[in-house]
Amino acid sequence: MEAINSRFPKAKRKGNGGEQWRAALFLSPSWLLLLLFFFVPAVLTFYFAFTNMALTGAAAANTQFVGFQNFVNMFQDATFRISVGNTILFLIFSAVIGQQVMGFLIAFLMNGRNRVFRSVVGSIVISGWVAPEVVCAFVWFAFLNDTGTANAFIQSIGFEPIAWLYTFPMVSVIIANVWHGTAFSMMVFQAALGDVPKEVEEAAMIDGASAWQRLIRITIPMISGSVVTNMVLVTLQTLGSFTLIYALTGGGPGNATETLPIYMYHQAFVNYQLGYGTAISLVLLLIGIVASLLYMKLLKVKL
Amino acid sequence: MNRFMVGRVLPYIILSFIALLFLLPMLWLVLASFDGAATLTLKIPEEVTLSNYTSTLASSDNQRSFGNGLLLALGQALLVVAAAGLASYPLSRYQLRYKRPFMYVILFATGLPITAVMVPVYQFFLYMQIQDSLFFTILFLAASALPYSIWMMKNFMDSVPLELEEAAWVDGASIWTTLRLVVAPLMLPGIFTVGIFAFAGSWGNFLVPFILLQSPQKLPAAVTIYQYFGQNGIVQYGKLAAFSIIYTIPAVALYVFGQRFMSQGFSFGGANKG
């Protein structure tokens, strides 16, 4: 055994030359792909954001370094300010409050119910999450349309139809995003609630704690780790959210649902201001970096 | 009804109501797809028909857009599984000086929103003159799925016992043979999970092909749906609903199939109670 162990030492050992080479060989496809298509563009963001690169006009032929001009413009740009406000609204109401509260509510109410009932409700909620985002947008485009189901319902109880996507555009995209994203939070909270030992709640019940007290004093504190992790994950997902809003309202009417990703797209691909578009994506990237670092810190990963 | 009964029944009532709200929009899609005269309002079809499906499937434009989607998703998933599978071996088994920083960078990249790099990616593609190419779109999709996939694959590899490998070495098998005949079969659940995640990710992806591809004949189903309902004025809702359902089915099937492999997929939220 000694001899074998010295010839075939355990995994966690000091790497010899051959191993280092083999490791490099095995890692090289991943490295190459990540470097070329992920890190190079990410680093380029830091360069392009300081240029006046454009797809048309003089700046297209002759791209110049313009320093902080894009960022100066950004702060004077009313539409940029509106899109920051919209992004914050969208984040808070669709992700932080909507998906999390709805996800927790469903997971909490489901806990301990009939198995069949649970799986039916779960499947319905998950169906909106599994469906591709464009399909979700189409479904909500139909539901909120002037002649859609929502209006058919409110007319049937005697109200005038509402042009949802024009009258309440932000509310519409928020509801659509809650519908699409809630399943993720629900599943995270289901897993977390499943890990809460029954004994603790039973003990509290015997001590005379009301259902509300048990929820606030015991259940929520015991899953607080999952709540925070989920919050960061959902925030990151929602920050980058483009498809649902773009396909549903295109950022409009006017710029009522123009969030940062949509504004970035409009500047880069509709107004052809690639440099300015990149400056906006740099802002997005920086927010993403902060959230991502926070996420890593919360996970307390063991490597 | 006394307090106790209310406490028992109320959750069922609330949950049923929530489920109904979640169900209604999707129900329209399903019913409209079988309705020859579908409108935007939820209604039971007067005559149930499969004609929306047959005409959607018969259209060569639609076939091409599903084919493109399949090519993008399958190509990307194979690439991701191969690259992440190879990378996970040394990351799990060897002691490497750069392992910690590498894993940190990978985890960090997992969190970054892809949306934030799409404009510079487009500029990079423009500069390299590789825009409007299915092949390079696959490479980008693969790269964007890699951080998460490497992370998952390494965790799966960590749970494969080392003893079997050592036994194979003792019997004189080379590293490559051991990998192929011992490690890979034990890794199958992990490989499937990573593959399914990757496939589903690019099958449902709208933004990446929307930005990187321009030729109509290269666009995948995701972008085609949008073009049908987003811009064109007149829409045949029944056909578009059928198109949407056909496009959604692979995602649902993969989810159902993948669940068997990813029992621990969502426990990461609970795994970190500290």
CB contact under 8 A, A29 and B82: yes
Distance from CA of residue A159 to its chain's centroid?
Answer: 35
pLDDT along chain A (303 residues), means of 10: 42 58 88 89 86 74 79 88 93 92 93 87 92 93 88 87 89 95 92 84 82 84 86 88 91 89 92 88 88 78 55
How many angstroms separate the CA of residue A133 from the nearest CA in chain B?
7
Region B117-142: what's the mean pLDDT?
A: 91
Which residues contact residue A132 at a Cβ distance below 8 angstroms, ignoring those fewer than 6 apart?
B203, B204, B206, B222, B247, B248, B251
3-state secondary structure (DSSP) of residue B265:
coil
Contact B11/A109, CB-based, under 8 Å?
yes
Cis peptide preceding A253, ω within 30 of 0 = yes
Contacts of B103 in chain A (CB under 8 A): 301, 303
Per-residue confidence (pLDDT) for residue A9, from 0 to 100: 45
Q: What is the pLDDT of residues B5-38, one digit of tens each?
A: 777 888 899 999 999 999 999 999 999 999 887 7
Give the three-state DSSP class for B96. coil
Q: Quick one: pLDDT band at residue B173, thresholds 50, 70, 90?
A: confident
Q: Specify the DSSP element, H or E, that contains B259.
A: helix B237-259
Q: How confident is the model at residue B271 (pLDDT cuts 50, 70, 90)?
A: very low
Per-residue model confidence (pLDDT) at position B235: 74
Nearest CA to A49 out of A76, A25, A80, A74 is that of A74
B90 CB neighbours in chain A (<8 A) are: 19, 22-23, 26-27
Q: What's the full length of chain B, in residues?
A: 274
Highest mean pLDDT among B42-51, B125-134, B169-178: B125-134
The answer, for B101 touching chain A at a CB cutoff of 8 Å, is no
Mean pLDDT of B234-258: 87
Overall average pLDDT of the B50-75 stretch? 91
Token pair of B205 as six digits: 């992806």
Q: Output Rg (C-alpha) for chain A, integer angstroms.
A: 25
Contacts of A179 in chain B (CB under 8 A): 22, 25
**Is the CB of residue B137 less than 8 Å from the CB of residue B72?**
yes
Q: What is the pLDDT of residue A16?
A: 59
Which is more confident, B51 or A5?
B51
Residue of A nearest to B136 (CA): A37
Gap between the Cα atoms of A140 and B95, Å rounded: 51
Please give the backbone phi and psi of residue A14, each rounded to the nearest 5 degrees, phi first: -65, 130
Any CB–CB contact under 8 A between B4 and chain A?
Answer: no
Yes or no, beta carbons of A110 and B15 under 8 Å apart: yes
Q: Which two tokens stand for residue B48?
A: 């149930």
Angle between helices B221-230 and A133-143 (to 10 degrees): 20
SS (H, E, C) chain A: CHHHHHHCCCCCCECCHHHHHHHHHHHHHHHHHHHHHHHHHHHHHHHHCCECCCCCCHHHHCCCECCCHHHHHHHHCHHHHHHHHHHHHHHHHHHHHHHHHHHHHHHHHHCCCCHHHHHHHHHHHHHHHHCCHHHHHHHHHHHCCCCCHHHHHHHHCCCCCCCHHHHCHHHHHHHHHHHHHHHHHHHHHHHHHHCCCHHHHHHHHHCCCCHHHHHHHHHHHHCHHHHHHHHHHHHHHHHCCCHHHHHHCCCCCCCCCCCHHHHHHHHHHHCCCHHHHHHHHHHHHHHHHHHHHHHHHHHCCCC
Cβ-based neighbours of A170, under 8 Å, separated by 6 or more: A86, A89, A90, A256, A257
Q: Please give the average per-residue pLDDT across B37-55, as a whole number.
A: 84
Best of B20, B117, B122 to substitute, by most chain A Cβ atoms within 10 angstroms, is B117
pLDDT band at B48, cuts 50/70/90? confident
Q: Does pLDDT of B273 surpass 80?
A: no
Average per-residue pLDDT for chain B: 85
% of chain B at pLDDT higher than 70: 92
Residue of A1, A5, A20, A30 to mutate, testing the B interface (most B Cβ within 10 Å of its Cβ): A30
Q: Across chain B, which distance is largest between two alpha carbons, in Å?
A: 75
What are φ and ψ of residue A259, in 5° steps? Answer: -95, 175
Token pair for A265? 């797209």
| pLDDT band, very low/low/confident/very high, at B77 (cuts 50, 70, 90) | very high
> Which pLDDT belongs to residue A4?
41
What value, to the nearest 5°, has the Cα angle with vertex B106 and ends A241 and A29? Answer: 110
pLDDT at B272 over 50: no
* 8 Å CB contact of B269 and A194: no
Question: Using CA atoms, how far apart are residues B245 and B60, in angstroms rounded to an integer?
Answer: 18
Residues in B touching A145 (Cβ below 8 Å): 40
Q: What is the mean pLDDT of residues B243-270?
A: 73
The beta-carbon neighbor of B90 closest among A23, A29, A149 is: A23
Which residues of chain B lie closer than 8 angstroms to A289, CB-CB? 108, 112
Q: Is the pTM of this model over 0.80?
A: yes
Which range among A205-209, B48-52, B59-63, B204-208 shows the weakest confidence by mean pLDDT?
A205-209
Residue A13: predicted pLDDT: 44
Residue A101 tokens, joined: 């509260």
Sequence length of chain A is 303
- From the CA of B190, how many Å to the nearest CA of chain A? 17
DSSP 8-class letter at B48: B
Residue A51, phi then psi, degrees to nearest 5 = -120, 170
